[in-house]
Amino acid sequence: MNALSDKTVGRLSLYRRLLNGLVADGVTHVYSHQLAVLAGGTAAQVRRDMMAVGYTGSPKRGYDIRELAQSIGAFMDAPEGQGVALIGVGNLGRAILAYFAGRRPHLAIQAAFDADPYKANRVIHGCHCYPMTEMDTIAAKANIRTAIIAVPATEAQAVAAKLVRAGVRGILNFAPIRLHLPAEVYVEDIDMTMSLEKVAYFSRKGRAEKEVNS
Amino acid sequence: MNALSDKTVGRLSLYRRLLNGLVADGVTHVYSHQLAVLAGGTAAQVRRDMMAVGYTGSPKRGYDIRELAQSIGAFMDAPEGQGVALIGVGNLGRAILAYFAGRRPHLAIQAAFDADPYKANRVIHGCHCYPMTEMDTIAAKANIRTAIIAVPATEAQAVAAKLVRAGVRGILNFAPIRLHLPAEVYVEDIDMTMSLEKVAYFSRKGRAEKEVNS
DNA sequence: TAGAACTTGTTAACGCTTTCACAACAAGAA
DNA sequence: TTCTTGTTGTGAAAGCGTTAACAAGTTCTA
Ligand SMILES: NC(=O)c1ccc[n+]([C@@H]2O[C@H](COP(=O)([O-])OP(=O)(O)OC[C@H]3O[C@@H](n4cnc5c(N)ncnc54)[C@H](O)[C@@H]3O)[C@@H](O)[C@H]2O)c1
Ligand SMILES: NC(=O)c1ccc[n+]([C@@H]2O[C@H](COP(=O)([O-])OP(=O)(O)OC[C@H]3O[C@@H](n4cnc5c(N)ncnc54)[C@H](O)[C@@H]3O)[C@@H](O)[C@H]2O)c1
C-alpha cells in the first residue's frame, strides 16, 4: 500500500483493460512477456509493476488473469465507487460524455456542469447537466473528488480553483494551459495540440533511433 | 539539429504557445523563471530546453519573445507546412475537427476519412470527409505523413497499418489499444480512460509527496 | 526420482531527465 | 571606472524509471 508512481498507475490501468479483454476471449492465464507485447512494454516492466500491486504469479503458469485483474482493481478502485464531474459540455465534453456513458460502473461521470443556461438542466448522453451555480452543492452532496475540465482555456483556471474549493483533489484537464493549484491536487493535462505537434515533428524527423552496429 | 528528446519537443510546443500569448499581451522579453511558472516547470529546465534549440538570451534582459518563438518554429515546423489526416469522424473526430479548424496555418487537418458512407463526401467543420477507399490516393497526393486515429478500438490496428502503407510516419492515436507498427513510425497515444483512472487514483491517495523534515 | 525447460521475483546496473551550482556576463548605480 | 545585482549557459550531480541478469521455483518428461 505504499505510494505508486504516476507511470506505474497508468500501466496498471492499461493492464487491467487488457486482462478484461483476455477474459472475454476465454483465456485464463498469461505470461509477463505476453502481457508485455499487448501493453507495448517489456516483460521485466510487467513483472516489476506486478511487484507494486503485490500480486504473485506462478512460474510455469504465469498470472491468473481473473485474480490479477481483481488484484489491480482492489488496488486502484475506490471500494464504494467514485464519482466524477465534467465541467464544460461543449464539443469535447459531449464526446467524453458519450464515451464514458455507462461504461465503467465504478468510475462514472455522475454530473455535468456548464455555464451556458441553454445547456443546463438537460440530460445529455444519460448524464444530467446542471448550471454552474449549483456545482458546489451537488459536488458536496455526491462527494465528488475527481473532475474533468473541458471549458475554454480562458475559463479553466477559475473553474479549477472553484473545483478545488468544492473539495476536488484530482483534475483531468483538457484546456491548453497549466493550472496553478495547491500541491496536494493532482492534475493530469491532456494537451492535444502539444501531442499533435510532437507527432508532426517526429513524423518528419524520425524518432531518434539507437544506432545498431552492423 | 541533433535529435531532440520526446519530452523536450513537447515542452517546446508549449513554450511557443505561451510565448505567442505573451506577444499578444504586448510583452517583449521574458526570463526563464517567468516562462517556467507559465509552463509549470523550473527555470533550469527552461534554460536547458533553450540550449536544445540553440537560442541564446541575454543576461539581465532574458529572452526576446518574438525571436524565441520564431526560433522554436524554425526548429519544429515544416518549412512548407504539413498536412494531417483524421481517420474516424465520430463524436471525438468531429470535436477534433472543430477544434483544429483554421487554427494553425502550418499544421492543418487537410482531409478526414470515415468508413461510413453516410459521412463521406461531406464537409464537416470546413474539412472535406472522404470515404476510406480513397485514403491512399488522397494521402499520397497531399503528401500526408501525419495522421490522427479516432476510430473504434477494434478497427484501429487495421487502420494504422493502412496509414503506414500510405506513407504515414507519425500517428496520434485515441483508440485505447497499443498499435503494433514498424519502429520507424512514431506513435503517441492519448488514452483518456487511463488518464482518468490515474486522476481518480491520485485524487483518493494523494500524490506521493516528498516528506519534509520539520 | 532426476533432469530439462521455462517461468517468476528481485536486485543491481544502466540510461535518460531533471536539478543544482556556479562562472561568465550585462546593465545600472555610485 | 568600479561595484552590485540578477540573469544566462552549462558541466556535474542527483533522481527516477527501465532493463538486464539470475537465483529460486514449478511443471513436465523420462
Ligand atoms: N474539441 C477538441 O477536440 C479539443 C481539443 C483540444 C483541446 N480542447 C480544449 O478543450 C476545451 C473545450 O473544448 P471544446 O471544443 O469542447 O469547446 P466548446 O466551446 O465547444 O465548449 C466549451 C463549453 O464550456 C462552457 N463554458 C464556458 N465557460 C464556462 C464556465 N466558466 N463554466 C462552465 N462552463 C463553461 C461553454 O458553455 C461550452 O459549452 C477547450 O479548452 C479546448 O481548448 C478541445
Ligand atoms: N469520444 C471520446 O471522448 C473518446 C474518449 C476516449 C477514447 N475514445 C476513442 O476514440 C475512438 C473514437 O471514439 P468516438 O467516440 O468518436 O467513436 P464513434 O463511434 O463516435 O466514432 C467512430 C467513427 O469511426 C468510423 N469508423 C469505424 N470503423 C472505421 C474504419 N475501419 N475506417 C474508418 N472509419 C471508421 C465510424 O463510422 C465512426 O464515424 C474510439 O477508439 C474510442 O475508444 C473516444
Instruction: Give pLDDT tens digits for B40-97.
Output: 999 999 999 999 999 999 999 999 999 999 999 999 999 998 999 999 999 999 999 9
pLDDT tens, position by position, B179-191: 999 999 999 999 9
From the list A95, A188, A197, the residue facing B76 with the nearest CB is A197
Nucleotides of D under 7 A from a protein CB: 5-11, 16-21, 24-27
Atom of ligand 1 nearest to the CA of A155: 31
End-to-end CA distance of chain A: 47
Q: Which residues contact B129 (CB under 8 A, 6 or more apart)?
A: B89, B112, B113, B114, B119, B120, B121, B122, B123
pLDDT of residue B104: 82
Using H for helix, E for strand and C for coil, what is the string for B130-168? EEHHHHHHHHHHCCCCEEEECCCHHHHHHHHHHHHHCCC
pLDDT of residue B214: 31
Whether A153 is in the pocket of ligand 1, judged by its Cβ within 6 Å, is yes
Residues B114, B100: Cα–Cα separation, whole Å: 18
DSSP state of B3: P
User: Tell me, what amino acid is at A85?
Assistant: A
Cell 488473469 belongs to A65
B59 touches strand D (CB under 7 A): yes
Flag whether pLDDT at B211 surpasses 60: no
A42 touches strand D (CB under 7 A): yes
- Binary contact (B204, A5; C-beta < 8 A): no
User: May I ask the CATH class of domain A82-193?
Assistant: alpha beta
Average pLDDT of chain B is 94
Please say whether the beta carbons of B102 and B125 come within 8 A.
no
A180 CB-side CA count, 13 A: 6
Atom of ligand 2 nearest to the CA of B89: 39
Whether A88 is in the pocket of ligand 1, judged by its Cβ within 6 Å, is yes
- Other CB atoms within 10 Å distance of the CB of residue A118: 7
- Other CB atoms within 10 Å distance of the CB of residue B47: 16
| Residue A167 contacts B, CB cutoff 8 Å | no
Whether A73 is in the pocket of ligand 1, judged by its Cβ within 6 Å, is no
Q: Which residues contact B116 (CB under 8 A, 6 or more apart)?
A: B89
Nucleotide whose C1' lies closest to the alpha carbon of residue A58: C8
Instruction: Locate the domains of chain B by residue range.
Output: 6-75, 82-193
Flag whether pLDDT at A50 surpasses 50: yes
pLDDT of residue A208: 63
Percentage above 90 pLDDT, chain B = 90
Please say whether the beta carbons of A160 and A173 come within 8 A.
yes
Determine the distance in angstroms separating the CA of B107 from the nearest CA of chain A, rounded to an integer. Answer: 8
B82 touches strand C (CB under 7 A): no
User: Which residue in B75, B71, B77, B90 sits closest to B155, CA to CA?
Assistant: B90
**Helix, strand, coil content of chain A in percent (nearest 5):** 45, 20, 35
Distance C9 C1' – A57 CA (angstroms)? 9
pTM, full prediction: 0.96
Distance D15 C1' – A5 CA (angstroms)? 13
Q: Which three cell numbers stand for residue A205?
A: 524527423
Q: Which three cell numbers stand for residue A1?
A: 500500500
pLDDT of residue B114: 98
The architecture in CATH of the region B6-75 reads Orthogonal Bundle (1.10)
Q: Which three cell numbers stand for residue A40?
A: 507495448
pLDDT tens, position by position, B9-36: 999 999 999 999 999 999 999 999 999 9
Nucleotides of C under 7 A from a protein CB: 5-11, 16-21, 24-27
Cell 519573445 belongs to B65
Please say whether the beta carbons of A179 and A157 come within 8 A.
yes
At A112, the pLDDT band (50, 70, 90 cuts) reads very high
Distance C12 C1' – A82 CA (angstroms)? 40
